[in-house]
């Protein structure tokens, strides 16, 4: 059921966010480069970048929505980096790797090249009945170190905080450690508070006791456009709510790039390198915007 819900959400995204449905291609009519089915790079990457990969398949290969669902098979952030190093794919559309994944890449001797193509943000999600509208950066750190354990200590109701985390190798956990916690160790969370998949975290937040006590995090694009659940809301940070506009302006504090990544030894004229460079240019940035992301150019 979760897979079906995600597929339906992706289809709706493509229909409404500029990555148009049917056989109609995205806004860019005449891209300056061409690919065929034979030389189109094999893509992998983060779950939140699936719509971008589908838009590329539609633009360059003329696929429709249903065809792209079969064509695009992403293996999540940590697995995709390993696949690139193992030469099981050519190009990643991906969020930043965790320290654990980076160490594994170093151990493999992988040399990768990163092209920033867009911006996203780590966002915090709570029950819509939670009266707290914003937390300070220090309050979030205190929640995830166990210093703050009750919402009353953050301006909310007298209610215990259930602080959900992601698994250590996930892309969102990498952002949590880099952008929020920095060098501060997180409190160890119970297994049931550490779901493996992005969608599971949102499901568990929606289902947790329905009393407003839970908090968790994801990336904005995924949580706002790809996998939404009623009864939840984003919480602001230092009084700034996450939105495309606040992410683009750098006003929301927990923003970070996402990337096109390839192996450094990729030839200068290879399809993977051509696509990575194209995504950095004006046409590629326009496509990224049309899919509802915040492009790097903004």
pLDDT at residue 27 in the model: 54
pLDDT band at 13 (very low <50, low <70, confident <90, very high): very low
Place of tokens 């205190």: 142
Place of tokens 């699936």: 50
pLDDT digits (tens, 9 = 90+) for 137-151: 999 999 999 999 999
Of residues 43, 32, 26, the one with CA closest to residue 272: 43
Residues 286 and 238 both lie in one domain: no
pLDDT band at 28 (very low <50, low <70, confident <90, very high): very low
Take residue 226 and report the two structure tokens written for it.
């790809």
Average pLDDT, stretch 40-49? 98
How many CA atoms does the CB half-sphere of 269 hold within 13 Å?
Answer: 0
Residues 40 and 99 both lie in one domain: yes
Distance of CA 258 to the CA centre of its chain: 8
Residues 32 and 63 both lie in one domain: yes
For residue 24, is pLDDT > 90?
no
Residues 168 and 277 both lie in one domain: no
Residues 204 and 280 both lie in one domain: no
Residues 166 and 104 both lie in one domain: no
Residues 79 and 192 both lie in one domain: no
What stretches of 86-166 show up as alpha helix (H) in DSSP? 99-108, 137-145
∠76-67-218 over CA atoms, to 5°?
A: 30
Residues 69 and 142 both lie in one domain: no
Check: CB of residue 233 under 8 Å from CB of residue 135.
Answer: no
Residues 277 and 217 both lie in one domain: no
pLDDT digits (tens, 9 = 90+) for 86-132: 999 999 999 999 999 999 999 999 999 999 999 999 999 999 999 99
Domains in the chain: how many in total? 2
Q: What is the CA radius of gyration of the chain?
A: 19
pLDDT at residue 30 in the model: 79
pTM: 0.89
Check: CB of residue 255 under 8 Å from CB of residue 247.
Answer: yes
Residue 9's H or E segment, with its range, is: helix 2-16
Between CA 77 and CA 98 the distance in angstroms is 9
Strands 232-237 and 134-135: parallel
For residue 195, is pLDDT > 80?
yes
Of 206-210, 222-226, 294-298, the poorest mean pLDDT is in: 206-210
Residues 227 and 212 both lie in one domain: yes
pLDDT at residue 190 in the model: 86
Between CA 169 and CA 196 the distance in angstroms is 9
Residue 92's H or E segment, with its range, is: strand 91-94
Average pLDDT, stretch 75-87? 97
Residues 124 and 225 both lie in one domain: yes
* Higher per-residue pLDDT: 52 or 13: 52
Domain with 28, as residue range(s), is 2-119+256-295
Residues 153 and 264 both lie in one domain: no
- CATH code: domain of residue 158: 3.40.190.10
């Amino acid at each position: 059921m979760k897979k079906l819900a995600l597929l339906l959400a992706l289809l709706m995204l493509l229909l409404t966010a500029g990555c148009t449905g049917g056989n109609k291609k995205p806004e860019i009519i005449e891209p300056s480069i061409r690919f065929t089915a034979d030389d189109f790079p094999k893509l992998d990457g983060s779950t939140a970048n699936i719509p971008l990969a589908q838009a590329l398949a539609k633009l360059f290969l003329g696929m429709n929505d249903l065809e792209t669902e079969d064509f695009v098979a992403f293996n999540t952030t940590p697995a995709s980096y390993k696949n690139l190093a193992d030469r099981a794919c050519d190009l990643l559309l991906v969020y930043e790797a965790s320290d654990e994944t980076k160490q594994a890449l170093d151990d493999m001797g992988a040399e990768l090249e990163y092209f920033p193509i867009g911006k996203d943000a780590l966002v915090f999600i709570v029950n819509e009945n939670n009266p707290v509208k914003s937390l300070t950066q220090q309050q979030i750190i205190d929640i995830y170190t166990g210093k703050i354990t009750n919402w009353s200590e953050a301006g909310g109701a007298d209610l215990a905080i259930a602080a959900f985390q992601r698994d250590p190798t996930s892309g969102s956990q990498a952002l949590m450690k880099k952008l929020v916690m920095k060098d501060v160790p997180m409190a160890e969370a119970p297994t049931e508070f550490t779901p493996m998949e992005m969608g599971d975290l949102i499901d568990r937040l929606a289902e947790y006791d329905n009393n407003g006590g839970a908090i968790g995090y994801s990336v904005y694009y995924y949580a706002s456009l790809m996998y939404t659940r009623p009864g939840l809301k984003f919480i602001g940070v230092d009084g700034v709510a996450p939105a495309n506009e606040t992410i683009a302006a750098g006003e929301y504090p927990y923003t970070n790039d996402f990337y096109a990544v390839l192996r450094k030894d990729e030839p200068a004229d290879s399809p993977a390198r051509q696509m990575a460079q194209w995504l950095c240019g004006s046409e590629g940035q326009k496509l990224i915007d049309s899919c509802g992301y915040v492009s790097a150019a903004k």
